[in-house]
Structure 1
Amino acid sequence: MSPTPVADRAVRRHGWGRAVAAVLAGLAAMLGVAALGLWAAGAAGLPDGAFARVVVATVVTAVGGSVELSGNAGVFAQTRAGLAVIPLSVTLVGALVIAEAFLRPLRHRAVTGAGEPARWAARIALLWLLALIGLALAARHTFAVDLRNGTLSDLTGLFGVAPTLGFTTDVPLTVLFGLLWLAEVLVLALLVSRAPPLSGRLLRFQRAARPAASAAVGLLLAYVALGAVAGVVTAATRGHAAQTFAVLLLGLPNLAWLALTLGLGATWHGRVDGPFGLPLPHVLDEVLRTPDVSTLNLRTLAEHDGRAWWLLVAAAVLVPAAAVLTAVRSPARTPAWRHALSFGAALAAAVLMICLVGRISAHYGLSVLGIGDLGGGLSGELLLRPELWPAVGLAALWGLAAGFLGGLLALPVRRRAGAGREGRTGTR
């Protein structure tokens, strides 16, 4: 069924207005979450009016943009700083809002050709391009660093050193990766959502890929939801509510999806040295706070807290549940081995994404005449990186096994559904 001329005129008439609304809604959601998270983390007290600029820089990093840190402490001092981390709470909120706004005008269609979503996406992309340029130009600032008391404070006063910290963005890279992020969000929205159905060959591909992709996305969101519940309980029972909510608002998926990969058996490597504004879970901090780079997996976590094995239990429950959901939503008479292949590929792709966006590299330091770079509150490092291909391989194995099992477990559900449909037909 093709869309009516009235519907076509309505889409053309309101296309740009809806595109503006979609982009503004996504930006507002991301800026709001970033601002609340940074405020809870205590960033509202940054000097020289830096808070608003830091909020914008956080949104830039959330869509894959490049933020570069720099410092200046005069001729007698040295500074070093670097930051590579994606605040995935901000990323996830923006992706959900923009995806919903992208799909809404298409949902009244019975069948949608490739041209209409492409034109609608192009409108959003053009406006998103302008927004990215504005964000990249606004996300730059320099402010003074408060050394408080101590030896370094005395030395900086003696030598007239006024340490400053600044950040700026690489505009071309920010635009490039921001547009790639938007394209991924829109394509995934079309692939995962049940509406709108595409036409022709795209419909066949959509029907084949949608169940596994939708189940994988649902699995990721389930881990985020469980992490949110755990975070709220922690804030209510153990104090430090502001810091806990800062973690939830800025890095909840970072921790939740890390837990998923650990439950699947993946290994990460990392190190924590010095104070950081956002607290890590206690057991994670214990494993990573060592002189050298530490190994992070279920075994090392369980050595500090036996409850870490619950991550394996969670994976053993939620991954097969997602596989059963995949099989139930797949076309009838799909063999179990095809469920295994499709869900294995989807889970492997999800873990690959987690490993790529979940990496963290942050360091900072200040030394005056060689003093201070290795100690005190003026140096620190946070590092987290995965063993990438072993993690993806383990996810593929889990997906293959769970997908095959899901295909078998879904057979009774389909039989009951088919019997119910036949019963209703016979009654009529």
Structure 2
Amino acid sequence: MSLQTVPDQAVARHGWVHALVTVLAGLIAMIVVAALGLWAAGAADLPDGAFPRVVAATVVVAVGGSIELTGDAGAIAETKAGMSVTPLSVALTGVLVVAAGFLRPLRHRAVAGAPELAGWAARIAVLWLLALTGLALSARQTFAISLGEGTLSDIGDIFGASSPRVGFKADVPVTLAFGLLWLAGVLVIALLVSPRAPLPPRLLRFQESVRPAAYAMVVLLLAFVALGAVIALVVAVTRGRAPETLAVILLGLPNLVWLAFTIGLGASWEGRVEGPFGLPMPQVLDSVLRTPDISTLNLRTLSEQDGRVWWLVVVDAVLLLAVAFLMAKRSPARTRAWQHAVHMAVALALTVLTVCLVGRIDAHYGLSLLGIGDVGGGLSGELFLRPQLWGAIGLALLWGLVTGFVGALLASRVRHHGEVENPKA
């Protein structure tokens, strides 16, 4: 064994230990947030000790995994169910913890080779897949649903549908595939956003145009989350309902505030709420969507319920100008105002596209007997919320061009990132 291989093996062992700590820290943080949120929502009272499995399913969905809903109501009865929603509070927690762990050993360096970065990422990916496999295998449970008493129960007894059951289980292959894509996205975004993260030499020429814009978008999204958390806590203190508010904060706060962000830009969403499903907060969303037909969710329809919705435009304008100024300040002084506008427009369009893709909601459940739907008179329901994608992206481009140009003008007289003052001056 040569003397040169000893340090290499020590670095490799240290790399595996650090990767293990990163993976465990990310998963533990997500599990804690999901458990607290579900506990506040009342899920701790689920029968058959299902709470840990529901927590596991929540984390699986948060990292892009798939949960299949299953049902069994007897020979001539049928259950249909499906759910597609991402608990973004849990996902955001994992993103921040995993990204911080990935970047920690790379700090204080200007350049790193592609093989080295790939090695760090591969260690994390291998351990991530192993941990995610165990989590997905534990995310399964079945519940019995009572049909109540009376005629419905008697019919169910006759036809063998008296004890319908509904459950869930994780699709392990799909969960591993999308969980790996989720991890890759987190690591790439971490390298793009962090000003201290090293890049391969071939990519250094892109950091002046990409990193300030990516950093600004992350600050924008986190600012909306922080503002939403403050508003939610104020509402909880002044109006009560603290457990429900805590559940929203810990499970779906980004779902709500990033939806409000896109609506403030002028974007429209379409959706419907029917049956026992509902949106936890604010009530104005549920009021607009709970109609017989598909409803449109935008500034106009929301303002008919509450005129204060127009303040979303003001909040969007202020925060976009602030992050545009920040982006211009962190960019080289030689960058022109129109270039800042283009960078801001592209970054904001990609951000809105991401919000629209991860913010979609689709949930439905139905029980039918002899072909007759909704025999439970309340056991069936539907909730979906989808963006009008191209309109939202177009508005994001327009907002980005305007705020990027104005932000560059505001930052033109401020010393930029990396700029050195003239000693003679």
Residue 253 of structure 2 is aligned to residue 243 of structure 1 = no
Residue 320 of structure 2 is aligned to residue 319 of structure 1 = yes
What is the match of residue 307 of structure 2?
306
Residue 100 of structure 2 is aligned to residue 84 of structure 1 = no
Deviates more, 1:394-403 or 1:70-79: 70-79
What is the match of residue 195 of structure 2?
194
Q: State the SS of the aligned residue for 1:226.
A: helix
What is the match of residue 61 of structure 1?
61
* Cα deviation digits, residues 177-222 of structure 1 (max 9, x gap): 1101100000000110011232422122123200001001110110
What is the match of residue 354 of structure 2?
353
1:374–1:303 CA distance, 2 compared to 1 (3 A): farther
1:298–1:369 CA distance, 2 compared to 1 (3 A): same
Deviates more, 1:246-255 or 1:39-48: 39-48
What is the match of residue 392 of structure 2?
391
Superposed counterparts of 1:23-172, under 5 Å: 23-147=23-147, 152-153=152-153, 155-156=155-156, 161-172=162-173
TM-score (norm 1): 0.92
Task: Supply the distance in 2 between the matched residues of 1:293 and 1:162 (Cα, whole angstroms).
Answer: 33
Q: State the SS of the aligned residue for 1:48.
A: helix
Superposed counterparts of 1:238-387, under 5 Å: 238-276=239-277, 279-369=280-370, 373=374, 376-387=377-388
Task: Supply the distance in 1 between the matched residues of 2:75 and 2:416 (Cα, whole angstroms).
Answer: 78
Task: Supply the distance in 1 between the matched residues of 2:290 and 2:318 (Cα, whole angstroms).
Answer: 31
Tell me if structure 1 keeps the 8 A contact 2:62–2:86: yes
Deviates more, 1:286-295 or 1:155-164: 155-164
Q: CA deviation at 1:148?
A: 5.1
Superposed counterparts of 1:200-219, under 5 Å: 200-219=201-220
* Cα deviation digits, residues 256-276 of structure 1 (max 9, x gap): 100110000000001111223
Tell me if structure 2 keeps the 8 A contact 1:11–1:105: no
In structure 1, give the amino acid aligned to 2:248: V
1:228–1:383 CA distance, 2 compared to 1 (3 A): same
Number of equivalences: 421
Q: State the SS of the aligned residue for 1:413.
A: coil
Deviates more, 1:296-305 or 1:203-212: 203-212
Task: Supply the distance in 2 between the matched residues of 1:201 and 1:391 (Cα, whole angstroms).
Answer: 34
Task: Supply the distance in 1 between the matched residues of 2:83 and 2:395 (Cα, whole angstroms).
Answer: 29
Deviates more, 1:50-59 or 1:257-266: 50-59
Q: CA deviation at 1:402?
A: 0.9
Task: Supply the distance in 2 between the matched residues of 1:173 and 1:397 (Cα, whole angstroms).
Answer: 37
Tell me if structure 2 keeps the 8 A contact 1:29–1:97: yes
Tell me if structure 1 keeps the 8 A contact 2:75–2:159: no
Q: CA deviation at 1:111?
A: 3.0
Task: Supply the distance in 2 between the matched residues of 1:246 and 1:278 (Cα, whole angstroms).
Answer: 12
Tell me if structure 2 keeps the 8 A contact 1:152–1:372: no
Task: Supply the distance in 2 between the matched residues of 1:133 and 1:30 (Cα, whole angstroms).
Answer: 16
Task: Supply the distance in 2 between the matched residues of 1:153 and 1:244 (Cα, whole angstroms).
Answer: 37
In structure 2, give the amino acid aligned to 1:319: L
TM-score (norm 2): 0.93
Tell me if structure 2 keeps the 8 A contact 1:243–1:278: no
Tell me if structure 1 keeps the 8 A contact 2:61–2:86: yes
1:5–1:190 CA distance, 2 compared to 1 (3 A): farther
Q: State the SS of the aligned residue for 2:411.
A: helix
1:131–1:421 CA distance, 2 compared to 1 (3 A): same
Q: CA deviation at 1:391?
A: 0.4
Q: State the SS of the aligned residue for 1:262.
A: helix
1:88–1:52 CA distance, 2 compared to 1 (3 A): same
1:270–1:17 CA distance, 2 compared to 1 (3 A): same
Task: Supply the distance in 2 between the matched residues of 1:152 and 1:242 (Cα, whole angstroms).
Answer: 35
Q: CA deviation at 1:80?
A: 1.6
Tell me if structure 2 keeps the 8 A contact 1:89–1:253: yes
Calculate percent identity across the aligned residue pairs: 67
Q: CA deviation at 1:377?
A: 3.0
Gaps of 5+ in 2: none
What is the match of residue 231 of structure 1?
232
Gaps of 5+ in 1: none
1:180–1:291 CA distance, 2 compared to 1 (3 A): same
* Cα deviation digits, residues 238-290 of structure 1 (max 9, x gap): 12211111111111100010011000000000111122376231111110010
Task: Supply the distance in 1 between the matched residues of 2:268 and 2:144 (Cα, whole angstroms).
Answer: 39
What is the match of residue 413 of structure 1?
414
Q: State the SS of the aligned residue for 1:286.
A: helix
Q: State the SS of the aligned residue for 1:70.
A: strand
